[in-house]
């Protein structure tokens, strides 16, 4: 489902700035995909594509801030690094309040941009790994039978097999079989890990 | 709608100090001394350009950013063995082009702010618009407002002081952009239109889709020192009015339906030779 190489999207309406960013990133071995407007980005962007977004705050039509809001509405997790012109600090503050990863004022030191991009890509990879794990746990929990789910609930409450058997009106042997199935299906190595997985799903 | 100069507001800069006269010598008695007039124009022009400075600063920052990016990339490439010189060539060519772009922005600004004696020459209003359009667009971009042009073909030339008429255009644009500040971001539109008007005149209009102007305010728009803006001097439109009259033309305002304002200047066209 995931394409492996992360993409650095650069969205800026200024062709000169756009091309220079692509050249700069290429000089350090980073491939950038440059786009001239927020709409072009929305038409291109696939949520499952890992990467980060370097976004000009001011653009005609949909501004960078508005694009950020659109992405927030869509639940996109791509980290956004804003690049702002002189005197756009209030806009940068607003962007940060809406969850921007970082911002840089034009013109910037190349190392500052490269460092931020690297950190944004790491953040994105972490977020995606956490999300993927969450999905895996959900899928494994979804595969449990109703009876196994009952056993899971009692397990996470720390109840011993004897108590479970009494509460469910089955033999201890049956409880043991259900327990083993739950551990097998969820891939949990220990009861502690199973409890953490259950908590992760609730959060 | 308001093609006849006689219908348009007839206020002239300096009127409060000089009681209006109804004699036939009206035109002359209203004219401020030439030196004062020149200075007033210069002040107004600088004020308008000052208001546009943020847009220009933003615009200059773009090529500077591009130059910085290319230069830093070159420095990285040079410190790496086996770099292809053609790659550096490409970046250096881009640096040169971006520097030229920055110089161009400054040249246009200087051409506009340069103090000039009134020197009239036959020129097409479309050419006047095209000369200032980059400055207009840089200012409009800062406001997130796209600008479109609707320039009529085959207009007669006008005999004007180009800098003064361009000052009027910039003034109308500033007003439009300020009117659009109340619109949600991305909704504002600005149109610059030229058209042939009756009586062999040429109309140059700046149209916005802002809230428009109420009747009460509309009647006083071209009065000196009248302003609805907290920071306004109230001189922009009054000076535009004076410039138009000095050229035998007029300025005016009309509402735009369903919403918006249209400021226009009418100038007498030259019969083609």
Task: Indicate if A12 and A112 belong to the same structural domain.
Answer: yes
Q: Which of B56, B73, B78, B104 to mutate to test the interface with A (most CBs of A within 10 A)?
A: B73
Residue A1 lies in a domain: no
For every residue of B55-102, DSSP letters joined together read: HHHHHHHHHHHHHHHHHHHHHHHHTSTT--HHHHHHHHHHHHHHHHHH
Say how many domains are in chain A.
2
Q: Mind telling me how many Å the CA of A18 is from chain B's nearest CA?
A: 8
Range of the domain at A87: 7-131
Do A166 and A119 share a domain, yes or no? no
| CATH number for A119 | 3.40.50.2300
Contact A24 B146 (CB under 8 A): no
pLDDT of residue A171: 92
Report pLDDT digits (tens) over B196-207: 998 889 999 999
Question: Has domain B44-52+118-268 been given CATH number 3.30.565.10?
Answer: yes
Residues A118 and A159 both lie in one domain: no
Instruction: Say if residue B2's pLDDT is above 60.
Output: no
**ipTM exceeds 0.85:** no
Query: For B49-68, what is the mean pLDDT?
Result: 82
Segment B199-245, tens digit of pLDDT:
889 999 999 998 888 777 777 777 766 666 655 555 678 778 888 88
A109 and A173 assigned to the same domain: no
A67-119 confidence digits (pLDDT tens): 999 998 888 889 999 998 866 788 888 888 889 999 999 999 999 999 999 99
CB B109 within 8 A of CB B152: no
The answer to the question of residue A136 being in a domain is no
- Residue ranges covered by each domain of chain B: 44-52+118-268, 58-111
Residues in chain A, how many? 203
Please tell me the least confidently modeled range out of A3-7, A164-168, B192-196.
A3-7
Q: Which of B54, B76, B186 lies at the smallest CB-CB distance from A66?
A: B186
CB contact under 8 A, B72 and A24: yes
Half-sphere exposure of A29 (CA within 13 A, CB side): 4
Distance, CA of B93 to CA of B74 (rounded, Å)? 12
Q: Among A82, A107, A131, where does a domain finish?
A: A131
Contacts of B185 in chain A (CB under 8 A): 63, 65-66
B19-33 per-position pLDDT tens digit: 444 444 444 445 555
The CATH number for A189's domain is: 1.10.10.10
The two structure tokens encoding residue B181: 């500040």
| Token output for B115 | 């103090």
Candidate from B61, B66, B186 with C-beta closest to A20: B66
The residue from A100, A131, A162 where one domain ends is A131
Asked if the structure places residue A137 within a domain, the reply is no
pLDDT at B139: 83
A33 and A107 share one domain: yes
| Residue B163 pLDDT level (bands cut at 50, 70, 90) | confident
Residues A83 and A157 in one domain: no
Which residues in chain A touch residue B187, judged by CB atoms under 8 angstroms apart? none
Q: Is the residue at A15 inside a domain?
A: yes
Chain A CB contacts of B101 below 8 Å: 16
This prediction's pTM:
0.64
Say if A158 falls within a structural domain: yes
pLDDT band at B36 (very low <50, low <70, confident <90, very high): low
Q: Is A63 in Cβ contact with B73 (below 8 Å)?
A: no
- Asked if the C-beta of A85 comes within 8 angstroms of chain B's C-beta atoms, the answer is yes
Q: Which of A27, A58, A66 sits opposite B76 (nearest CB)?
A: A27
């Amino acid at each position: 489902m995931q394409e492996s190489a992360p993409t650095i999207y650069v969205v800026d309406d200024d062709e000169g700035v756009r091309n220079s960013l692509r050249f700069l990133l290429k000089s350090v071995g980073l491939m950038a995909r440059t786009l001239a407007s927020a709409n072009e980005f929305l038409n291109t962007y696939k949520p499952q594509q890992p990467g980060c977004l370097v976004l000009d705050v001011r653009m005609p039509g949909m501004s960078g801030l508005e694009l950020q809001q659109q992405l927030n509405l869509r639940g996109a997790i791509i980290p956004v690094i804003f690049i702002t012109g002189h005197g756009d600090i209030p806009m940068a503050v607003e962007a940060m309040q809406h969850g921007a990863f970082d911002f840089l004022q034009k013109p910037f030191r190349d190392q500052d941009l490269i460092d931020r991009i690297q950190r944004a890509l790491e953040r994105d990879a972490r977020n995606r790994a956490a999300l993927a794990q969450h999905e895996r746990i959900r899928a494994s929990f979804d595969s449990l039978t109703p009876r196994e789910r009952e056993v899971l609930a009692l397990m996470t409450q720390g109840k011993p097999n004897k108590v479970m058997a009494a509460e469910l009106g089955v033999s201890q042997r049956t409880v043991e079989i259900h327990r083993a199935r739950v551990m097998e299906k969820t891939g949990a190595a220990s009861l502690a890990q199973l409890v953490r997985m259950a908590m992760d799903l609730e959060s | 709608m308001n093609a006849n100069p006689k219908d348009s507001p007839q206020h002239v800069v300096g009127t409060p100090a000089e009681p209006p006269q109804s004699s036939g010598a009206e035109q002359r008695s209203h004219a401020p001394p030439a030196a004062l007039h020149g200075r007033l124009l210069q002040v107004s022009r600088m004020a308008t350009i000052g208001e546009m400075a943020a847009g220009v600063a933003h615009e200059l920052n773009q090529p500077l950013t591009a130059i910085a990016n290319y230069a830093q990339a070159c420095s990285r490439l040079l410190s790496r063995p086996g770099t292809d010189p053609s790659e550096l060539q490409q970046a250096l060519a881009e640096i040169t082009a971006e520097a030229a772009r920055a110089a161009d922005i400054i040249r246009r600004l200087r051409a506009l702010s340069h103090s000039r004696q009134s020197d009239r020459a036959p020129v097409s209003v479309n050419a006047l618009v095209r000369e200032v359009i980059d400055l207009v667009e840089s200012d409009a971009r800062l406001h997130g407002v796209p600008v479109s042009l609707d320039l009529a073909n085959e207009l007669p030339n006008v005999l004007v002081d180009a800098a003064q008429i361009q000052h009027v255009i910039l003034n109308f644009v500033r007003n439009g952009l300020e009117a659009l500040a109340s619109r949600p971001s991305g909704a504002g539109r600005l149109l610059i239109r030229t058209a042939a008007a009756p009586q062999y005149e040429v109309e140059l209009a700046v149209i916005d889709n802002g809230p428009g102007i109420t009747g009460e305010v509309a009647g006083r728009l071209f009065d000196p020192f009248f302003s609805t803006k907290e920071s306004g001097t109230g001189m922009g439109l009054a000076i535009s009015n004076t410039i138009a009259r000095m050229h035998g033309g007029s300025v005016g305002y009309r509402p735009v339906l369903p919403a918006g304002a249209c400021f226009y200047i009418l100038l007498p066209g030259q019969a083609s030779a």
